[in-house]
Amino acid sequence: MSLQVADASLREDLMSNEELREQSNELVDVLLKAMSDRNLSDLSSPDFEPVHEILSGISISRARQGFSPRETGLYVFSLKDALLQNIQEELKNDPPALIDALLKIDKLMDSLGVVTFDTFIKGREEVILRQTDEITEISTPVIRVWDGILALPIIGTLDSARTQVVMESLLQEIVVSGSTIAILDISGVPAVDSLVAQHLIKTVAATRLMGAECIISGIRPEIAQTVVHLGIDLSNIVTKATLASALKYAFAVLKLEVKKIQKEKAAI
Amino acid sequence: MDRIPILRMGHFLLVTIQIDLYDRLATNLESDLVQMVNKTGARGVLIDISALSIVDSFMGRILGNIGSMSKIMDAETVVVGMQPAVAITLIELGLELKGVSTALNVERGMELLQAKIGSDEGELIDEDEDSAE
């Protein structure tokens, strides 16, 4: 089977540059090496391992670069078009052989396409998982705003797993820093349902058990509405409108006072 | 049989739990402590559980019980040094230890007790001084 399909990759140039051509050349080379008359009908033969490997590499890297599945799929199937064209020209005078070859190539390329999609989706999932991990890590910073006062701004939706992380890191930080007041700022939480409220109440209770006081600040009007409509009782929890007023309250509890410095001139 | 030592410090009783509590030990502690409060007329009980890493619902209940019992006998209870894991467990078990005060460490706990008892004590000391004169 003679295939001069090295030029098949050209049509992909609209998307990228030299790198793409290199990639395609590599793929075509390996594919040609792997293909022989004997194994064309057996798609699971080990001869195709290197092809699969290269395809996986390409589609994973494409998934990371943010290509759409459609583009990745078209990239592989463009190879099919080129192959078919070549075969058609070559076997013009022998229709039965042409049909046979066409069917085989069709099957082969389909299976390659499936491999591509498989790895493409795997690559995407990896990206998503990594991002999820990163978000959980960066989304629960415990800030020491003052000696003995911790603040924990929560941004984004609260679910059980995240509340667990929030609670653990808060309690740990309370022990480490010896703080007596923790401010939980939920102005970045888009919605509160009964479950989230339950989690908040749990966090507050756990903080109390540790011997610290927990203030919830930044409850937005919509959230206040939902909380009351859901019949959740937050009355035994100290709540403040803003982080600033929570801080003020914390200062009052710790018997601290913030004063404006009098100008020296005025003092003289 | 093992017993948890109960130390007397002025008006307060100090209990430090250094080993993991099993049920028998906990019930003994409960009765011993109430007896001690009665005998010494202590005004405050400070329980240090910083070494306690495992807690179950029974233990949580005992802590709560000690709190309420001391309350009836006119003594404040402060639990200090709870580990984060223990706090989370207790909350998940639904035990919020409502009648018990908490503090971060023994020092803070003592301050808290003194602040709570302080007002009464002040009068007592004054009376003592008066009688001395």
Residue of chain A whose alpha carbon sits nearest to that of B101: A211
Q: Is the pLDDT of residue A263 over 60?
A: yes
Mean pLDDT of A111-126: 83
User: A83: which 2 tokens?
Assistant: 């192959």
pLDDT of residue A1: 39
pLDDT of residue B131: 46
User: Could you tell me the sign of the dihedral formed by the alpha carbons of A69, A71, A72, A73, in that order?
Assistant: positive
Q: Is the pLDDT of residue A10 over 80?
A: no
> Residue B127: pLDDT band by 50, 70, 90 thresholds?
very low
- Residues forming beta bridges with residue A238, ordered by sequence position: A215
Q: Is the pLDDT of residue A38 over 80?
A: no
* Residue of A140, A127, A115, A141 whose CA lies nearest to A56: A115
> Residue A7: pLDDT band by 50, 70, 90 thresholds?
very low
pLDDT of residue A17: 61
Winning range, highest mean pLDDT, from A254-268, B5-19, B115-129:
B5-19
Q: For B91, which of A178, A206, A211 is closest by C-beta distance?
A: A206
Within-domain flag for B101: yes
Query: How large a percentage of chain B has pLDDT more than 70?
Result: 87
Which residues of chain B are within 8 Å of residue A200 when distances are taken between CB atoms? Answer: none
pLDDT of residue A8: 44
Q: Which residue of B63, B76, B82 to mutate against A (max A Cβ within 10 Å)? A: B82
* Inter-chain residue contact A209 with B82, CB threshold 8 Å: yes
Within-domain flag for B30: yes
Within-domain flag for B54: yes
Look up the CATH number of the domain holding residue B35.
Answer: 3.30.750.24
Within-domain flag for B1: no
Does B84 contact chain A (CB < 8 Å)? Answer: yes
pLDDT in tens, B37-64: 888 888 889 999 888 888 888 888 888 8
The domain of B80 spans 6-132
* Inter-chain residue contact B83 with A168, CB threshold 8 Å: no
Mean pLDDT of A237-257: 89
pLDDT of residue A2: 39
User: CA-CA distance, A222 to A74, in Å (whole number)?
Assistant: 47
Mean pLDDT of B102-109: 88
Within-domain flag for B95: yes
pTM (whole model) above 0.80: no
Of the listed ranges A117-126, B21-30, B113-122, the one predicted with least confidence: B113-122
Cβ atoms of A155 and A139 closer than 8 Å: yes
Q: Is the pLDDT of residue B12 over 80?
A: yes
- Residues forming beta bridges with residue A216, ordered by sequence position: A184, A239
* Inter-chain residue contact A208 with B96, CB threshold 8 Å: yes
- The helix or strand, by DSSP H or E, that contains position A181, with its residue range, turns out to be strand A181-188
User: A10: which 2 tokens?
Assistant: 């050209």
Does A87 contact chain B (CB < 8 Å)? Answer: no
pLDDT of residue A40: 61
pLDDT of residue B63: 87
User: CA-CA distance, A208 to B97, in Å (whole number)?
Assistant: 9
Nearest 5°: CA angle at B97, between A206 and B12? Answer: 110
Per the prediction, chain B carries an average pLDDT of 82
pLDDT of residue A18: 67
Residues 6+ apart with CB under 8 A from A247: A145, A146, A149, A151, A183
Say whether the ipTM exceeds 0.95.
no
User: CA-CA distance, A166 to A164, in Å (whole number)?
Assistant: 5
pLDDT of residue A97: 80
Nearest 5°: CA angle at B100, between B99 and B104? Answer: 155
pLDDT of residue A104: 78
* Inter-chain residue contact B87 with A210, CB threshold 8 Å: yes
Residue of chain B whose alpha carbon sits nearest to that of A208: B102
pLDDT of residue A268: 53
pLDDT of residue A16: 54
* Bigger pLDDT: A253 vs A51: A253
Domains held by chain B: number: 1
- Residues forming beta bridges with residue A95, ordered by sequence position: none
Per the prediction, chain A carries an average pLDDT of 78
pLDDT in tens, A51-74: 778 778 877 777 777 777 777 777
Within-domain flag for B51: yes
Cβ atoms of A117 and A73 closer than 8 Å: yes
pLDDT of residue A178: 86
* Inter-chain residue contact B84 with A209, CB threshold 8 Å: no
pLDDT of residue A199: 84
* Bigger pLDDT: A22 vs B64: B64
Q: With 0-12 CB in 10 A as exposed, 13-18 as middle and 19+ as buried, what is A102?
A: middle
Within-domain flag for B76: yes
Winning range, highest mean pLDDT, from A8-22, A110-124, A136-150, A200-214:
A200-214
pLDDT of residue A101: 77
User: A85: which 2 tokens?
Assistant: 């064209």
